[in-house]
Amino acid sequence: MAKKLITVTVNGKQHESAVEPRTLLVHYLREELNLTGAHIGCETSHCGACTVDIDGQSVKSCTHLAVQCDGSEVLTVEGLANKGVLHAVQEAFYQEHGLQCGFCTPGMLVRSYRLLQENPNPTEEEIRIGISGNLCRCTGYQNIVKAVQSAARKLQEAATAAA
């Protein structure tokens, strides 16, 4: 199959790649770029384990083509930490025991990261709705919700301190 040339910025680093038009973004990330954080848990866009951030939106990379990302900025779980310092959502998932087997965690974190940009001070209900595109089979979500609440507080405090 003829390949298409795409230019994608992933976690701040620009990549030029020749990909088959049918290559799914999640396979491109995992197999071409060796970014295996995003996982594949279904093929129907339900589980959200493959969630990444494209140009400021949460996207399920298992039903998105790599060629659709030509010229885009993609953020994966590997890009959340900054120079070795964990992002507030990562730290909060650790502190609040918001993960068990870890398989949903990358998608959950990237989604939570975006949710808190969309709504920096969400209610519990807004968090539950906001992460409802991401399934977790281990935690029962209770500690994930706590983690997102905790991260929201930390980010708010940091924003207030900076202002």
What residue ranges bind other proteins (CB under 8 A)?
Answer: 20, 22-23, 27, 30-31, 34-44, 46-47, 49, 76-78, 80-81, 86, 90, 93-95, 97, 99-106, 109, 127-129, 131-145
From the CB of 30, what's the least distance to other proteins, in Å? 7
Q: In sequence order, which residues have a C-beta less than 8 Å from that of residue 143 and are 6 or more positions away? A: 96, 97, 98
CA 55 – CA 53 distance, rounded (Å): 7
The smaller minimum CB distance to other proteins, of residues 69 and 75, is found at: 75
From the CB of 27, what's the least distance to other proteins, in Å? 8
The smaller minimum CB distance to other proteins, of residues 3 and 71, is found at: 3
Computed on alpha carbons and rounded to an integer, the radius of gyration of the chain in Å comes to 16
The smaller minimum CB distance to other proteins, of residues 71 and 94, is found at: 94
The smaller minimum CB distance to other proteins, of residues 54 and 138, is found at: 138
Residues 115-146 as b or e (16 or more Cβ within 10 Å = b): bbeeeeebeeeebeebbeebbbeebebebbbb
From the CB of 134, what's the least distance to other proteins, in Å? 8
Q: Which residues are paired to 65 by β-bridges?
A: 24
Question: What value, to the nearest 5°, has the Cα angle with vertex 74 and ends 59 and 17?
Answer: 115
From the CB of 34, what's the least distance to other proteins, in Å? 7
